[in-house]
Structure 1
């Protein structure tokens, strides 16, 4: 991978800038504050910074504060072109009120969906944001600070491998020993006296009933607090529920007692009158019921008699309707038969019309026989055969001298006039006449031209005459007309057969006559409608017969019991006199309440209410004593207050357990990764680091190890080791070490693939000798990878060479 170009309209302090990059070494030179660092940060942001800025994230807030023009800037953008395996990609990003991301692929496809683009960039920039940020785009000072932190730790004796491993981790701000120690302390403070796997105290017997007093961790403490408050909550809830239940019961009992008391008092006032009324009311009730029955019967009897007469008249009318419908049904069947005849007649008329059209169409076609076709084919064969024979003896010629008039007859064609110098061709026969000069006739020696010509002309004449007689222009047209004539004949025969089938032995005139009768039956309903009407009338008649029978039975029963309506009225008067006398005895007595039908019901209800009130009084006294006992035993805190505390304790307990599990996982991963790193995993990086340090010292030495003072032991070709003065190999500062380490790390990272690195001015603190070696190393590195070097020093740019990019404010 390498960068091809970068363009921005505005990004922080730079605007309207476009930079093109080449393979190998690119040197960006410009004064301080020209925006070189901002350019590099813009390239990094275009690749890795999300276009949609979320202001609840610190990194996004910081990005906006650093790079969005203040105070009126609405957006910033970046357009980066890069090349991977020879194919060009184009990435566009815009940040601000309107944000967008667009990725153009080498095949022309354009991606606009941010999730798809994110996945694609992850595939292209395989090492991720952190690796590119800490290695490819890292500032020199960040790498130097990592090296200084490791060398400043006097407790560690370094091999080159362990030094490099720690340097890689330091680039991400990780202090391994401090992290390992803090992890152990944090986990111990959390899980002491707690079994995290089984989610219980390490000793099951030391639960809430027998808790540890000292020596426990935060999880155990949170667990005891949680269980303790849950106990209090359970007790408080039980007592509050009991108190609320008893209060509701007492209120309901009191309301019921007062209601019963009022009702009993009201009923007691009329109790004696009700007892007297109880002896008279049953007879009154009986007489009232009898009177009611007789009154209803007196009203209903004449009505039912009139209804019986009316329904018998309706039955007579229905019988007349049935006879008329039966006659209409017969006429409907006849109408259906005539309709069918008319339908058949209409189909026949359509077929006759179609026959007439096809007959007329056939009349316009001359009948051509198969013999006519065969005769034409025989003439055509002769014409083709003779023409082919003559074409086999093709003659070529040209008139070379100018002549006044040249008359040419060739093959079977007519005479024509040609000019001198024009080449001509003839099939089998040539007759050339130059007036006053020559008259020559040439024939092919392989054919009898005269005989062929006569036979050809005769066949052609007969063929043309036959075409004219038949009224066609070609044999194909004759075939088509014969086929059309035969098709129309077949279709006429088929139509004729259809008409015969529809007539089915009847005469066409008879069908016409029957169809004419249909006009006389215009207002006759169809048979289905009449059938429905018949069914309806029959059902109505059956229903009417049942109603007449019911009325007759009811009137007969009344006559047997009462005789007639007059006798019924006399009985009503007698009962009314008796009822009036009994009601006179009730004068002055209290009325029975409306909700009671009888005095017995009133007395029974009053007895029941008095007994119920006694029971309620006993229950009310008992519940009131129980309420006093519960109120005395209530806890100081309510259930709602304890619930809020329980939620806090439970959240803390769950949070601490999750934290402990996460820290244990982190510790396991840390141990595994450190073991992997210590298992010779850094050998290739050690080799590269050694080689680059050797180049920077201009010597042919390999590095052996590093002591506490960062003095390097070197090994010569004879494998003898000797310490080297720190002034020779420490490069005076850590700049050389940092550069060698970073180049080695990058080459190990990219290995056999393309890659690029951004170097800010990492040579500024090197003395001339070291700077020269560093320039050599950077140029050597640029032969394989793309290097983008930023500097404000023209001498540094000159010494580096490569593509120089002027960058001014």
Structure 2
């Protein structure tokens, strides 16, 4: 046991000597007391960020600096362009003042402009509506021109029929011509009113227009149609119960007259609202069947409850159907 203890002692002694020698070498010319004094003079240990974070921050700042330099270069180029365009700061301020004054003038003009009628989101929609009226008027004028040409050709042809047959055909053609002419005049009148509205946009002309027209037309057509597709404030397509769609040009004469009467009653209702006035109709029932004549008469009588209607007709039964004040006029030779 004594030998074991001695060996342990020698081992620890050697370690001590080795540690002391290393300590002395590390101190060099300094003493432990001097080093301890310097350590106390340094104060508390300062917190230092890790080198990795410092490197990452350095890269980020370098990229930011590069972007700022590019941005500064772009701004310098913009300033250079402005100098070439405006010459001086005072001149640029003068131009800016002129533009602000012009902007104020335009804003004042904008405030004084009349508002668009109800049913139009912007002036483009309103002008599109006017353009459609112009297109309809042009088409009617073209149809009138074609009918006139056909009338001339028919008159110049060598007759293959009797004078009675030709006279009957001529009467039918003249009736068709007069009908188309009246439709053209009606569209021209609508166009004139629309142009008048263009200068008086503060008048609420089209409020509820679509629903009124649809009510008039579907009732007078004997509910042959289920609904009407509108384009802006104009009826575009008439839809039957089986889903088939018809445009105005595909309608029969009787249905066209029903369509035109519904449109006239609707327009008259709006143009005469809050005004005194009356409506003159030149027998729009002549080409309708008896069923539709009765339905149309109901709507005319309904309209007459609020505005006077003067109805011109050559058919006594139509006058009786309307059940109004009957005034008979005869030609005195």
TM-score (norm 1): 0.16
Q: Which has the higher strand share?
A: 1
Q: Which protein has greater RCO, CA pairs closer than 8 Å, 6+ apart?
A: 1
Higher Cα Rg: structure 1 or 2?
A: 1
Q: Which has the higher helix share?
A: 2
